[in-house]
Amino acid sequence: MQYNYIREQLLKNQKTWLITGVAGFIGSNLAEALLKLNQRVIGLDNFSTGHKHNLEQIKESITDKQWKNFNFQEGDITNFETCQTITKDVDIVLHQAALGSVPRSIDNPILTNHNNVTGFLNMLTAAKDNGIKRFVYASSSSVYGDSQELPKVEKRIGNLLSPYAVTKYVNELYMGVFQKCYGMEAIGLRYFNVFGKRQDPNGAYAAVMPKWISQILNGEDVFINGDGETSRDFTYIDNVVQANILAGTTTNEKAFGEAFNTAIGGRETLNNLYQAIVKGVKENLPELEIKKPIYRDFRAGDIRHSNANIDKIQKLLGYKPTHTLESGLKESIEWYIQDIKGRKKSE
């Protein structure tokens, strides 16, 4: 497996990685994985959606020696001077900082554009100016818009359905231009509904997976948008970490300037997902009483069905998912149960 080989090589060769949005869900998991491989990690975050307790959990999961390889800076990607400073003496950029959520972008398109387009261009330009070739960034399955084709293939997209989708597609356009004009080894990863430990279940724009798990565990009402037959390619965080590390280290020039579906390659409806979460929670907490879900209107800007073709990322980057929806869901539920217990003890 290519990923195992790359991890062995990283343990022997230390590089400096910059992770933007390092205090967020995906960023903190990336930092933890790289620090465990004895890599140097520089982290940037403004805590608009990330959390300091995520950084504390990283520290608890690694050795003191590994923690010394971590350098955190609080700052904002919309400040170009910050981007210029943070990208000095860096080998690889993993750009995760963004304002996620389709509904948030519909509520506030200007703020979403400011972070996801201006902030992205700041980081890409600063990386270029400081001589960084490898720039890996988070794109999104939202770029497929109203395309009815399943599974989704990278070269064919539809009409975009939200300001968020527009910002991510603009990122991809900039990536291609910077690759052609400046020779940057930029790679985009189109994430498909990522879930796992440290994903924030709170707030108006929380993703469905952590929100439902948290609501069920806390005995709260669970809402399903539409008829529940909307489907998604739910992708466990460890698969996304793998894709980032492979993209950050690949020597395959055919990958540069490309965007890759980052997913499991499966599809599950919201109704089935809800039942799977209930089953998983019951296996851990059989005595817990669980309410029936409440159905409400479809959400504006949502894609009806999403399912990724992952042939391209497998062929060019050597990606091979280690977790299915079932195995990832099992680990996620166990993590949230322990996290809730830990928070109650500290209160």
Out of 137, 144, 164, 191, which one is annotated catalytic?
A: 164
Geometric angle at alpha carbon 149, from 308 and 175, rounded to 5° = 60
DSSP string, 200-256: ---STT--HHHHHHHHHHTT---EEETTS--EE--EEHHHHHHHHHHHHH---GGGT
Rg of the chain in Å (alpha carbons): 19
Task: Please choose, from the candidates 13, 24, 22, the residue with its C-alpha nearest in 3D space to the C-alpha of residue 197.
Answer: 24
**Known active-site residue 164:** yes
Distances (CA, A) of 258 to 94, 103, 171, 313, 342: 15, 27, 11, 10, 42
CB-based burial, 231-252: b 16+ in 10 Å, e otherwise: bbbbbbbbbbbbbbbbbbbbee
Distance CA 237, CA 240 (A): 5
- Those residues whose C-beta lies under 8 Å from the C-beta of residue 67, and which sit 6 or more positions away, are 35, 58, 59
Give the amino acid at 118: T
List the catalytic residues.
164
